[in-house]
Amino acid sequence: MEKKERRAFLKSGLAAGAITLATISSCTGPNISEEEEELVNVLTPDGRLVQIPKSMAAADSYVPVGPKEARIGIPNKKFVMVVDLSRCTNERKCIDACDHHHHLTPDRPYIKVLRMQDNEDSSPYWMPKKCFQCDNPPCVKVCPVSATYKRSDGIVLIDNERCIGCRFCMSACPYSARVFNWGQPPESMEEGYDEIPYSPETSVPSRIGTVGKCDFCPDMLRQDKVPHCITACPNGALYFGDKLSDTVTNGGETVRLSQLLREKAGYRYLEELGTEPNVYYLPPVNRAVPFEETLSDQES
């Protein structure tokens, strides 16, 4: 009962504007070099002091919305991602940033970078792959408890408080974009981890026996920031933006989505399946750097 009360106080306190006693810098992406999961003190309005992991204490005391609010998309938005295959060199910084933000273990990353080669005569290239946030998602149709759902802003989310772990959605996904939470991340053993208010927009705290996947970082989008993987990529291979405003950015440059897709022959992976994904690819031509092999144990 005491733990439930502390969780309720923390959730209401942060939502009401709790102040952090530690200095937290505002940035578009996580600082991977910092000591992992450093705890910070948070003071609730009633004067109670609690500790939560620093990565979950966003600037300005931002708190992700709850499961009910998370089902409502951000108004007047349609989020899309563009991957420039000519720029990807398998630096894997996007994976590191995503894993850090979502408290993932190496055995179940939300992002994979695949070594691709269309035929024996063509050159190989690296292909980042994550959830495609389909407009016609098979995963949503097969979920028996409505744990996975499609929002008005184009994002497909999973509510782990409703998920029963049947894995029907994993079988239905033609892109193998989903992972199963077989265990808790190491951070779950730290004091304060279980006090974090759960939100489908962060997938944290994770739930054993449930499904997870790339979520386009809606908690960042609500703060007018781009997902962590975008700013973490050192080559600017990932673009993110709003299809309705026809703009996308890779953190360094902002371009017209329609012009980018038209001039660089953008396409959608496995278009013939009719899933209508919201992730586009640009062909691996006119590469900035030559393709280089990596150690097999580092490939996804």
Which tens digits make up the pLDDT trace of 59-78?
445 778 899 999 999 999 99
pLDDT tens sequence across 142-174: 999 999 999 999 999 999 999 999 999 999 999
Sheet with 49-53: list strands edge to edge. Answer: 19-20, 39-43, 49-53
Does 52 lie in the same domain as 30?
yes
Its pTM stands at: 0.76
Residues 165 and 179 sit within 8 Å (Cβ to Cβ): no
Angle at 92 between CA 230 and CA 111, to 5 degrees: 70
**Domain range enclosing 44:** 2-67
- Sign (positive or negative) of CA dihedral 97, 98, 104, 110: negative
Q: Residue 32: pLDDT above 60?
A: no
- Sign (positive or negative) of CA dihedral 16, 13, 187, 158: negative
134 lies in a domain?
yes
Residue closest to 202 by CA, chosen among 45, 35, 57, 59: 57
Does 22 lie in the same domain as 104?
no
pLDDT tens sequence across 218-269: 999 999 999 999 999 999 999 999 999 999 999 989 999 999 999 999 999 9
- Asked which of 67, 95, 119 is the last residue of a domain, the reply is 67
- Asked which of 36, 67, 98 is the last residue of a domain, the reply is 67
Find all residues with CB under 8 Å of 129, minimum gap 6, and list them.
111, 112, 113, 114, 175, 177, 269
Find all residues with CB under 8 Å of 33, minimum gap 6, and list them.
none
Neighbours of 63 (CB within 10 A): 22
Does 190 lie in the same domain as 229?
yes
Does 108 lie in the same domain as 61?
no
Structural domains of the chain, count? 2
Does 197 lie in the same domain as 160?
yes
- Asked which of 67, 84, 105 is the last residue of a domain, the reply is 67
224 lies in a domain?
yes
Q: Which residues of 204-222 are buried (b: 16+ CB within 10 A; e: fewer)?
A: bbbbeebbbbbbbbbbbbe
Which helix (H) or strand (E) element contains residue 148? strand 148-150
Q: Residue 3: pLDDT above 70?
A: no
Residue closest to 255 by CA, chosen among 280, 286, 289, 274: 280
Does 108 lie in the same domain as 33?
no
Strands in 224-278 per DSSP E: 238-242, 247-249, 254-256
Phi-psi region of 5 (alpha: psi -120 to 50; beta: other; left: phi over 0): alpha
**Residue 255 amino acid letter:** V
Quote the CA–CA distance of 152 and 156 in Å, as a whole number: 9
Q: Residue 24's pLDDT is what? A: 28
Does 222 lie in the same domain as 164?
yes
> Quick one: three-class SS letters along 39-58?
EEEEECCCCCEEEEEHHHCC
